[in-house]
Amino acid sequence: MVKSSHEAMHRIFQKEPGIFTRTFRSLGIPFPETVDVGVLTTDLTETEPLERRLDTLLRVETAEGRPYLLAVESQGRRDPAKRSSWPYYLAYLHAKYGIDPVLLVVCQDEATARWAARPIRVGPPEWPSLTVRLMVLGPHNVPVVTDPSTAARDIPLATFSAITHGKDPNAAAILEALASALKTLDEETAVIFGELTELGLGDSPAAHIWRDLMAVDLSFFRSESSQRLRAEGKAEGKAEGKAEAVVQVLEQRGFAVPEEARDRIRACADTEVLGRWLARAVTASSVEDVLA
């Protein structure tokens, strides 16, 4: 027995399915004529666990105070099953977190990228109930980075460029620029981005080029000159830190540090001298006493 207006509004479609077509036709929405209807269970609970996993899911906070979810999928080829999974991912994420989601698909070839970028429409063509638009990155819109200095300014972008353009005829130049840029990093970070690049290239011909480059270029970190440069860099950083500490202690004690004195302190590269100045700065009665 129908017990509420809520039930009546949906039960009428069970009693007379044809009313759906007739009603919407009167509204100018030409659904095709109904020939048969099967009533299915309304329970959408999944009785068996169905594993669905994203490649990466991030919650992104913004300056405007409107966070969003960034779901990332790596797609190496066309997969019709994914076009039904992607709308599910977005709907599920929105329902679970209550935050607007964005699904980003990363591709390595333009054909797959173009395929993934096509809107996904769920529902009959007369009235799509859901239209899903994905954000797609691939060789067609990721910049090609072949200049070592450009690559050094943004290593992550250069790495991403190398991965997405791994099948490009210009891949060797992109990889050479990245390999050169990695020399500007410390060894641990360079190895991390080097391994990310190798994993992203998979078993493509570009992966062999990259391994050959790394066999030569990562030896830079083990060379005598590289070790000397790193030691000099550490010493320089230590001196800069002590120089700033001298200035800060003097300022915190209320002294006005003249520009000439600042320049002298910051120009000093002798950590022993800077150490003496720092010790004096704690008790000295003037800036001149510190630098005497």
Instruction: Give per-10-residue mean pLDDT for the chain (292 aa).
Output: 48 60 65 65 59 76 82 85 88 90 86 91 87 88 89 86 85 91 82 80 83 70 48 60 82 83 88 82 82 84
pLDDT in the model for residue 30: 66
pLDDT in the model for residue 223: 45
Alpha-carbon gap, residue 288 to 292, rounded angstroms = 6
Alpha-carbon gap, residue 246 to 290, rounded angstroms = 9
pLDDT in the model for residue 147: 93
pLDDT in the model for residue 132: 92
In the chain, which residue ranges form alpha helices assigned H by DSSP? 5-15, 18-26, 82-97, 110-117, 148-153, 155-164, 171-182, 187-201, 205-217, 224-252, 259-267, 271-283, 287-291
Residue with tokens 């999974």: 85
pLDDT in the model for residue 218: 56
Encoding tokens for residue 69? Answer: 């979810």
Task: Supply the DSSP string of 119-155, one letter for each residue.
Answer: PEEES-TTS-SEEE--EEESTTTSPP---HHHHHH-H
pLDDT in the model for residue 5: 42
- The pTM score is 0.59
Residue with tokens 């190398």: 162
